Each structure stands twice: as structure tokens, then as C-alpha cells.
Amino acid sequence: MEKIYVYSIILFLFFLGACSKEEIKLYNGDTVYISFVNNSTQDSAVYSFKTYPDGEIVAEIPVQIHGAYLTEPRKFTISPTDSTTLPGTAYELPEVCEFAPGQDVDTIQVKFFNNFDELDDKSFRLFLKIDNSENVKQGDRDYQIAKFYVSDKLEIPIWWSRNDGTVDRPTNIVEKVYLGEYSETKYIMFLEELEKGGESFDGTDMNVMKKYAIRLKYTLEEYERVNGEPKRDENGRVITVPVAG
């Protein structure tokens, strides 16, 4: 029994030493590891210029840091990967990014421009990576790439198709509570309501979602009152919204 106990202590010390060496390897000196916040195997951003009529989109991209604690800004750069199909004239990357000191998460900006006709017919992708340098390295593998899909077609936005609940009980809140099943006609009408109010919606402020889902509901009720029949979508289905109010 005593030999087993001594062996267990030795084994524990071995693993402890291995972990310490790995920690030193990862966080030694002035090197920091910067990665994107979203998991590239699960998350991507889909943008349609149909919802940005001024022809320009400014994307705020969160990035996170691990390693040395920053006491001054850390400069780094980003660049497109070989998987990118979006022409370089259709987007603008910052020449140099800076991660602010004293925080774990910061943001960088990327601009998209609606300046070539092919966007009308199909989506193009921009995959971004953080460039390795002397004192900045890429972070965890699943967070090394930020994925964007851009077109001038009307496509279902990410916020209308995602599950917002737990893994065990996934729930699409937008579909179940606010707007119901997606259709292109319904989405256009929702965008028109936003335009009337001078607002836009990126999927984050659910107060905006509720406000304009209710307005869409009233518009649909008014359409039925005036025309004597309900409004239908491009597939002939009656357009309804489940939002209460």
C-alpha cells in the first residue's frame, strides 16, 4: 500500500511538472495569443447589401487575448486566407490593429463595399486570420479564423436561424416568439418597418426586434382589413407573426 502511495505522489509530481512546463511554453515572456471570439467551426456572419442600402457595411469583430498581461497597446495585423473569394476591392481591412491594455476582449473593424455586379447573383466569402509576428501568435485552432459571407441577395440572416436556448432544449427565439417562420416576403416587410422607424437590426437588441415585429403584425392586420384577405408570401402561404402585443 505504501509503495502505491509513493508511486501516486511521484506520478502527480510528474504531471504537475509537465503542466508547469507547458504553461511556461505557452505564456513565456512578452508573447500574447490573439484569436477571434467566435468558433470558426460553428459560427459565421452572413451579410446582404439588401439590408444596407447605402452600399457599405461596417463589421465589428470581437477578438480575445491570452498570455502576457498587457500594460500598453499591442499592435497586430489581420489578413485574408487562401479560401477568400471576395475581391480585395470589396472590403477594407485595418492596416494595423491594436489590442488595448487591461482587458481580455477588444474589437476590430472591417468594411464591406457593394461595388461589383457579381454580388447580385451569388455570395462571396472573406475568411480572416490573425497574422503571427514576433510577439503576437494565433490562439486556439478553432478560433483562428473569422468567416464572412457577403452578397447583394436577400438571404435569411443569422439571427433568424440560430438557436438561442440550451443544448438540451434548443429554441429559435425569433421564430417561436417574434417573427415566426422565415420567408423572403416577410423579411422584406420587416425591413420596411425598420426603415420607416429609421432603425436597423443586427440580432442583438431584442427590444428592437419586439417593437418592429409588433409593427409588422399591425401592418399585416391592416392589409387584411383593407384587402379582405390576408397577405401571402412568395410561396402562397399566409404571413403571420406570433409576437404578443
* Across 126-133, average pLDDT: 97
CA distance 224 to 183: 18
Residue 53 confidence (pLDDT):
78
pLDDT in tens, 142-180: 999 999 999 998 888 888 887 776 555 568 889 999 999
Here the cell at position 219 is: 401592418
DSSP secondary structure letters along 211-230: HHHHHHHHHHHHHHHHHSS-
CA distance 80 to 128: 4
Residue 5 confidence (pLDDT):
47
Among 6-10, 106-110, 135-139, name the one with the lowest average pLDDT: 6-10
- Given a cut of 80, whether residue 10 has pLDDT beyond it is no
CB 92 within 8 A of CB 59: no
- Given a cut of 70, whether residue 19 has pLDDT beyond it is no
The whole-chain average pLDDT of the chain stands at 85
Residue 198 confidence (pLDDT):
84
pLDDT in tens, 170-229: 688 899 999 999 998 999 899 889 888 888 787 888 999 999 999 999 999 999 999 999
Residue 142 confidence (pLDDT):
94
Residue 15 confidence (pLDDT):
46
pTM: 0.67
Residue 163 confidence (pLDDT):
74
CA distance 63 to 60: 10
Residue 165 confidence (pLDDT):
61
- Domains contained in the chain, CATH given: 32-151 (2.60.40.1740), 158-227 (no CATH)
For 185-189, the CB contacts below 8 A with 24+ separation are 185/231, 185/232, 185/233, 185/234, 185/239, 186/216, 186/233, 186/239, 186/241, 187/154, 187/156, 187/157, 187/160, 188/154, 189/216, 189/219, 189/220, 189/231, 189/239
Residue 166 confidence (pLDDT):
56
